[in-house]
Amino acid sequence: MKLSDLNKILILIFIFNFSFNLHGEEEVDIWKNNSSNQEKKKIENNIEDSTQSPLVIKNNISTNSIIQEQTSSETDDTLLYGIWDPDKYNFELSMWSNTDGQNIKKTISRIDKLNLSETAENIFLNTIFSYSYPPENISDKDFLDLKIDWLIKNKKDNVIEEFLKKNNEFPNKNKIIQYLVDRNISRANIKVGCEKANFIGKEIKDPYLEKFKIYCLIFNNKKNQAQLLHDILKEQNQSDKFFDNTVNFLLGVSENKNKKIKDDNLLNFYLSSIIFSDFKYEPNSKTKKSIWEYMNSANLITIDDINDKEKIKNIETAANKGQIDKNQVFKIYKQIPFDLNTLINAQNVYQSLEKIEGRALIYQKFLLSDNVQNKLDLLFLLKDLFKKDNLANLYAEFLSDRLKEFDDNDIPKEYVNVVERNINTNETLSDRKIKFDDKVLHRSKLIRYFYEKDYPIKKTQKELDGVYKKIKRNRNYFYSAKDIAVLESLEYDGIKVPKEIGHKKLSESYSIPESLVDLADAGQKGFLALKIVEIIGEDEVNNLDPETIYFITNLLNKLNLKEFRNEILGTALPLRI
């Protein structure tokens, strides 16, 4: 086709779309209607480039405007990977266009080292997995790898599966699928692991994944299909002697000819565990985490010699890293023998023993004690012993569980505070009941506007007027940073704030880091969101100081990131009991 003919066609398409919009027809949401095929979406670019590239479109242009602009341009090679429509959080496809890709990489690297709070994690995920162009100076693949590596490291299986559903083709897809497969093998849950294999498309030619598919066919008694795929794998020179012998054994073609356990990857280790009748394996500090997890799930961790301190130490280390069930350690401690005199004088004798024996002795003494104060003394002594050997993670959950078993009325007064500090609760902030206080603006019923979806603006206006009437009776009322954050946010959304409050003047006493203001002024929504994630970090926002809550809210208002603003205020403000 000639270039001139192609241009004529593009002009006709443009006229059709323009006419379509004039008639007020509803615009099609390409993200929702094509989510399963999004990886095939390509950005169209004008052949006789007289317009600006979509990659550098300013952030104040909406996604819909970008989509309209794309209809008049030819296909580009840029593919979009994500989960959420950028409009959902008021982002644009070009949200990273003004940001240095290396700065994004460094920021995500720092975030990767944090155990993010629930709010920080939500903002992070919603930001990096909104459909967008990558920054100009980082490749599509590298940018995507940053995201996928984070999901894998943090074991976000549900998000990974959602990403796979919405992105059929992307670089290193085999890596993410192998992770899902290994996750289910490590849990000794092969049935579910084989179901995950449905994500393995024909376009992926990875020997590891093909081998697992073959095993799944055998597992589901589809041996003829398994044999066929195995023959194809061998013809392609992608099989190996160990796997060939294993398949022949499982198909009943021959006896197991493998002589050694293979632990180079989890699949081979798993296959070894089911084909060797006398399977026995001694993990150590160099053993892969996934193998530790599988052995724990399959009850393959045993201690034949209770005097083998090196093996016990390896098990303690694995439990501290979260690779195996921590209760395995305490089961071993119960097996270590002590004479009666040693048990009676445990608190005087433990220091003369090796560290493992010392912890085991105090643990057994705790089990034998029937006095609340003695039990508490022993539990907190154990805490110190585990902490000294850098095994605090191993003990924290055990300590919390044991402390929960005490009746509150039986705990001595001098222990009440320390017991409360050492009890972990799975209860989230959202699970707790909210207590309103209409004498304090940021704790009044006004805050429902931020955490109740589609809360009526008219009702909020009426409530603001009512709360203000109560507050102004108190001549000594002090408008805090949280109050100002509420008032600014309500005003930003179109609610009239009483002029008498003078909140704009009051806000001048609170400073905002200039570096963050610069990002907001430059319209760098995505990068600013990542910076806010880094600021919140491991803290839940209700534990941040009021000034930090204020400046974060102020910045989010400037960039119209209302979803994130509401999540922060809806978590930080309510008084929960």
Answer yes or no: do 446 and 484 share one domain.
Answer: yes
In a domain? residue 280: no
Domain shared by 221 and 309, yes or no: no
Helix/strand/coil for 551: helix
Supply 500's token pair. 């008498």
Is 416 among the domain residues? Answer: yes
The Cβ of residue 515 has, within 10 Å, a number of other Cβ atoms equal to 8
- Which residue, of 391, 421, 451, is where some domain finishes? 421
Following CA atoms 565, 567, 572, 577 in sequence, which dihedral angle do they give, to the nearest 10 degrees? 160
Angle between the N-to-C axes of helices 101-111 and 525-536, in degrees from 0 to 180, rounded to the nearest 10: 20
Instruction: Identify whether residues 14 and 155 lie together within a single domain.
Output: yes
In a domain, 290, yes or no: no
Secondary structure (DSSP) of 145-189: HHHHHHHHHTT-HHHHHHHHHH-S--TTHHHHHHHHHHHHHHTT-
Indicate the residue among 222, 241, 275 that finishes a domain. 275
Q: Which residues pair with 130 in a beta bridge?
A: 84
Find out whether 297 and 340 touch, Cβ atoms under 8 Å.
no
Q: Kindly state whether residue 296 falls inside one of the protein's structural domains.
A: no
Q: Is residue 281 part of a domain?
A: no
Q: How does pLDDT run along the chain (577 residues), one tens digit per residue?
A: 443 444 444 444 444 444 444 344 333 332 333 333 333 333 333 323 333 333 333 333 344 434 433 443 333 456 789 999 999 999 999 999 889 999 999 999 999 999 899 999 999 999 999 999 998 889 889 999 999 999 999 999 999 989 988 888 888 888 888 888 899 899 888 888 888 776 666 666 678 889 999 999 999 999 999 999 999 999 999 999 999 999 999 999 999 999 999 999 999 999 999 999 889 998 888 898 899 999 988 888 888 788 889 889 999 999 998 888 898 899 999 999 999 999 999 999 999 999 999 999 999 999 999 899 999 999 999 999 999 999 999 999 899 999 999 998 999 999 999 998 888 766 565 667 888 888 999 999 999 999 998 999 999 999 999 999 999 999 899 999 999 999 999 999 999 999 999 999 999 999 999 999 999 999 999 999 999 999 999 988 988 999 999 999 999 999 999 999 999 999 999 887 7
Q: Are 133 and 25 within one domain?
A: yes
Two structure tokens written together for 160: 């990974």
Two tokens, residue 65: 């405007």
CA nearest to 524, candidates 547, 558, 549, 485: 558
Number of domains in the chain: 4
Q: Do 117 and 259 reside in the same domain of the chain?
A: no
Q: Is there a single domain that holds both residue 570 and residue 443?
A: yes
- Tell whether 372 and 478 lie within a shared domain: no
Phi, psi for residue 92 in degrees, rounded to 5: -125, 165
In a domain, 289, yes or no: no
Domain shared by 157 and 253, yes or no? no
* pLDDT at res. 553: 97
Segments forming the whole domain that contains residue 238: 175-275
Q: Is residue 456 part of a domain?
A: yes
What's the confidence (pLDDT) of residue 234?
94
Instruction: Name the token pair of 23.
Output: 């008639």
Task: Report whether 188 contacts 157 (CB < 8 A).
Answer: no
Q: What angle do CA 191, 195, 201 make, to 5 degrees?
A: 145
The size of the chain, in residues, is 577
pLDDT value at residue 302: 80
Domain assignment present for 127: yes
Same domain, 388 and 347: yes
Closest CA to 460 of 441, 475, 440, 434: 441
In a shared domain, residues 269 and 307? no
Residues 509 and 385 in one domain: no
The last residue of one of the domains, among 421, 454, 482, is 421
